[in-house]
Amino acid sequence: MKIEIKNCNSIDQATILVEPNRLNIKHGPNGTGKSTLAKAVLLNCEEKASLASLTPFKYRDLDPSLENQPSVTIDTAVNAVALFNEDYINRFVFTQDEVLKNSFDIFIKTQQYDEKMAEIEGIISDIRKTFRDHEKIDVVLINLNELLECFGKSSKGLAKSSKFIKGVGDGNAIENIPVELAPFEKHIKSDSNLAWLKWQMSGNAFLEISDDCPYCTSPTAEKKQTILAVEKTYDAKAVEHLSKIQNVIEKLGDYFSDESRSKLKKIVKNKDGLKKEEEAFLGEIKKQVETLITKLRDIKFISYFSLKDSSEIKKEIENLKIELDLLSHLSSKPTKEIADEINLCLDNVIVKAGKLQGEINKQNKLIQQTAEKHKEDINGFLKYAGYKYYVDIAEESDTYKMKLKHSECDGEIAHGATHLSYGERNAFSLVLFMYDCLTKNPDLIILDDPISSFDKNKKYAIIEMLFRGKNCLKNRTVLMLTHDIEPVIDMIKNLAQNFQPRPLAHFLASKGGVIAEKEIRRDNILSFPQICEYNIASAKHCAIKAIYLRRHYEIIDDKGLEYQLLSNVFKKRIKPIIRSIGLDGNPMEVDMTAEDLAKSQAEIQRKIPEFDYQTIVSNMNDKAAMTKLFHETTNNYEKLQIFRLINSDNHENNVIKKFVNETYHIENEYIMQLNPHEYDYVPDHIVVECTNQLL
C-alpha cells in the first residue's frame, strides 16, 4: 500500500509504504509530521472535504489551486480507517456509564450472538406480527395508559390528586349547570368549553374599567354578577381534567362491558360528587386496566431479555395469556377479539417452548463465555501491567455495558477518566480501541504515538496485548507512528521472533517539508560502542572520527590518556593537559608529558591512523576550515558536533544550547539505538539556527 500526502500542515510531500496484513512501524522524532500524516489519511477516507482544514498556513492567503491544496493518494482501496489518538480517547472512552461507548456492540454482539438471537426471534415472531398487523392493539394500549393516568398513582384506588377526584370529585358542573348560568349553557357544553372559560375569566379583569362589555361595549351592569358567577362555579383545570376523562372513556367505550361502560358514564355525569361505592368501583376498573396494560406490554415486548432468567419458559408464556373472564369490567366483544388473537399466538409459542428454552439457555451461555473471555483478557493485561483497576461486563436493561472497577473498593467507577492517570487512561484506551477494531474490521488501523507515555514494562505489556494476545491485531494492516525507539528495538531486534508476521520498521526524516522513509533492519539497531566503531571506520573527516572515538571512551567509562588527549583536541589546546582529582578531593590540572602524548597518540592511531594531535588542533582552531566542514557535512547530527567545536560557548539561545549539548554528551543515549550517522534525528530548525549563528 503506497500512501502519498501533499500540502498538509507542515508536510509538503510524503510517501510511505504500508505492507498489508502486518504491523508497520514508522519511527521519527517529534515534529516530523506523524500526527498530520495520520489525520490526513483518516480525513481522506471519512471526510474528504475536511482535508482543506490541513492547508498549510503559507497557502491560506493564496487563491486555492489544485497545486497547493491538501491531497492524499492511496494506491489500494481503503474504505474504513480506525485512528487511535487523543481525539478517540476523548470521544469514545470513559463515558458517564460505561468504559467504552457502544461496549455491547464491541464485546457481546458477535456474529454468533446475532445468529442465536435471530433463532429466538423467529420462534416468537408471530407475536410481533400480531402487533404489527393489528394497529388497534397499540391504540388501545395508548388509551388504556391515558385512562390509568386519570386514576393517579395511589396503590389503594383513586389518588386524592387524580384527574378523577379533581374533575368529578365534587360533581360534574358541565352536565349540571346552575340555573343562574343557564344563559351560558351552549358555551359551557361546547367542545371548546375550556378555551371559552379561560377567555371568559381573563376578561373579568376589564369589568372594573366600565359597566360596558369589554368585548362589544353593550351595557353589563345588570349581568355583572352572573358573569362573575362563571369563575366562582368553574375551575378551568377541573374542566380540563373532566374533559380528558370523558374523551378517553369515549375512545375506550367499546372495550368495557356494557354494564361497566354505563356505570362509568353515570359516575362521570354525577351531580353531587363521588360516593364511596363509586370510588370503590373506579378502583376495581383501575386494577383491571393495570392488569391488561401489563399483560399487553409484556406480550408486545417479549424477547430474549424478558425470558432469559426464566427456568420455565412454558409456564412464563402461559402466564402471559389474557384471562378475560377474570377482567369482568373489560369483557366485551372488541376486547375478546384482541385477547383471542394474542392468546392464539401465545399458544403457538407454547408449542415451541422446549426449543425456545434451549435456544435461550444457549444464548445465556454464549454471552457468559464471551463476557468472561474479554474480561479475562483485559483484566489479565491490567494485572500484569501493574494496574489495580479491572472491568466487568454487566447487564443493563436490554443491553450489556462494560464497567470500570477498582480492586480496593466495591461498586463501579463512573466517569473513569477523572480517576485515572494519563498513562492509565491511555493503556485502557489502547486495549479498548483494539477490541473496537476487531469488531469493525477497518481496512487500515493507525496508532498515533500510542505507547510513549508508559514505562518500559508497561510498553511491552501493551505491545503483547495488541499484537500477541488471544484476540489481537495480528494479521491486520496496522500503521504505528511513534517517536519512541523502544518498540522498534523490541519488535525488530530483541524479540522479533515473537511476532508473526514480523513487523516492518522505517525511520521518517523530514527535510524542507519533505518526508522520506528509510528501512530499519535488525542489524541497523546497534549498541552505542558499535555505532562509534562503525562511524570511526567510515567517516571521511578526522575530526568526525575523533568525536565518535571520544564518545566511545566515554560510554565504556575509560577516562585514560587517550580520552584526555581527545578532550584537549576539542578544547583546542596547543599544549595538552591532564585533569584529575587530587588527594584533597579537588580537581587539578598538570601538563601532559611528551611521553604521555606520544603514547596516547599512538593508541588513538590504531583506530584513526591519520590522527596527529598538532595537526587536528590546528584545524580545530581554523574557524573558516571548520565552518566549511560544517556546511559540507550532510548529516544534521554531525553538524551539531562540529558546531559545538566551532562555538565552545554553544548557542546564544538556551533551548538550542540544550539540544546541542544533549547530542554532544552520552547521558541521553539508549543502550541500543539507530546510528545517527545513518538515521538523522536532528530537526531542520535546530540546524538552521546553528547555521545562522555561523554566518
* pLDDT of residue 243 exceeding 90: no
Q: Alpha carbon of 520 to those of 31, 291, 497, 523, 524: distances in Å?
A: 20, 73, 16, 8, 6
Which of these, 252, 274, 272, 269, lies nearest to 261 by C-alpha position? 252
Residue 308 has pLDDT above 80, yes or no: yes
CA dist., res. 566 & res. 583, Å (int) = 25
How high is the pLDDT of residue 194? Answer: 66
Q: Which of 24-38, 83-97, 226-240 has the lowest mean pLDDT?
A: 226-240
Q: For position 476, what pLDDT does the model report?
A: 96
Residue type present at position 411: G
Q: Lowest mean pLDDT of 321-335, 469-483, 611-625, 677-691, name the range.
A: 677-691
Looking at residue 307, its pLDDT comes to 93
What value does the mean pLDDT take over residues 279-301? 94
Does the structure show a pLDDT above 70 at 572? yes
Q: Which residue has the higher pLDDT, 564 or 410?
A: 564
- Residue 232: which residues within 8 A CB-CB, separation 6 or more? none
Residue 638 to residues 507, 677, 692, Cα–Cα distance (Å): 18, 7, 17
* Grid cell digits, residue 313: 419458559
Whether the upstream peptide bond of residue 529 has omega within 30° of 0, thus cis, is no
DSSP string, 149-160: HHH-S-TTSS-T
175-189 pLDDT tens trace: 777 777 788 878 877
Q: Choose the weakest-confidence range: 105-119, 158-172, 174-188, 560-574.
A: 174-188
Work out the pLDDT band at 668, boundaries 50, 70, 90: very low
- Cα separation, 107 vs 391, in Å, equals 12
C-alpha cell at 516: 522520506
Q: How far apart are CA 309 and CA 321, in angstroms?
A: 19
Under 8 Å between Cβ of 317 and 350: yes
Question: Model's pTM, two decimal places?
Answer: 0.73
In the chain, % helix, strand, coil (3-state, to 5) comes to: 55, 15, 30
Quick one: pLDDT at residue 395? 87
| 182: CB partners within 8 A, 6+ apart | none
Separation of alpha carbons 23 and 479, rounded Å: 6
- CA geometry: angle 284, 285, 288, nearest 5 deg: 85
Amino acid identity of residue 8, one-letter, is: C
Residue 398 has pLDDT above 90, yes or no: no
Phi-psi region of 171 (alpha: psi -120 to 50; beta: other; left: phi over 0): left
Rounded to a whole number of angstroms, the distance between the first and last alpha carbons of the chain is 44
User: Which grid coordinates are listed for 624?
Assistant: 573558516
User: What digits encode the pLDDT tens for the residues 187-204?
Assistant: 877 777 767 777 777 777
- Which of the residue ranges 30-39, 60-69, 637-646 would you say has the lowest mean pLDDT? 60-69
Nearest to 249 by CA among 234, 238, 260: 260
Report pLDDT digits (tens) over 347-397. Answer: 999 999 999 999 999 999 999 999 999 999 888 888 888 888 899 998 887
* Residue 666 reports pLDDT greater than 60: no
What's the CA gap between 390 and 407, in Å, rounded?
Answer: 7
Indicate if the pLDDT at residue 164 is higher than 90: no
Pairing state of beta strands 2-8 and 71-74? Answer: antiparallel
Amino acid at 46: E
**Which residue type occupies 273?**
G
Q: Which grid cell sits at 425? A: 487512561
Collapsing DSSP states into helix, strand and coil, what is residue 622? coil
Yes or no: say if 656 and 689 are a contact pair by the CB < 8 Å rule: yes
CB contact at 8 A, 394 and 403: yes
575-619 per-position pLDDT tens digit: 999 998 888 889 899 999 999 999 999 999 999 999 999 999 999
Other C-beta atoms lying within 10 Å of the C-beta of residue 430: 22
Could you give the CA distance from residue 37 to residue 42 in angstroms, rounded to a whole number?
9
Is the pLDDT assigned to residue 675 strictly greater than 90? no
Q: How many CA atoms lie within 13 A of 328 on its CB side?
A: 4
Rounded to the nearest integer, the mean pLDDT of the chain is 87
Reply yes or no on whether the pLDDT at 574 is more than 60.
yes
Instruction: Identify the residue with better confidence: 209 or 164.
Output: 164
Angstrom distances, CA of residue 434 to CA of 215, 423, 487? 74, 17, 17
Query: Residue 569: CA atoms inside 13 Å, Cβ hemisphere, count?
Result: 27
Contacts of 439 (CB under 8 A, 6+ apart): 105, 106, 109
Q: Count Cβ atoms within 10 A of the Cβ of residue 290 and give its class: 0-12 exposed, 13-18 middle, 19 or more buried.
A: middle
Residue 172 pLDDT exceeds 80: no
**Of the candidates 314, 293, 298, 313, which has an alpha carbon nearest to the alpha carbon of residue 147?**
293
Nearest to 387 by CA among 359, 349, 348, 413: 413
How confident is the model at residue 667, as a pLDDT? 41
210 vs 323: CA distance, rounded Å:
65
Instruction: Please list the alpha-helical segments (H only) found in 352-385.
Output: 353-384
Q: Which of 221-225, 597-601, 689-693 has the lowest mean pLDDT?
A: 221-225
Contact (CB, 8 A) for 379 and 393? no
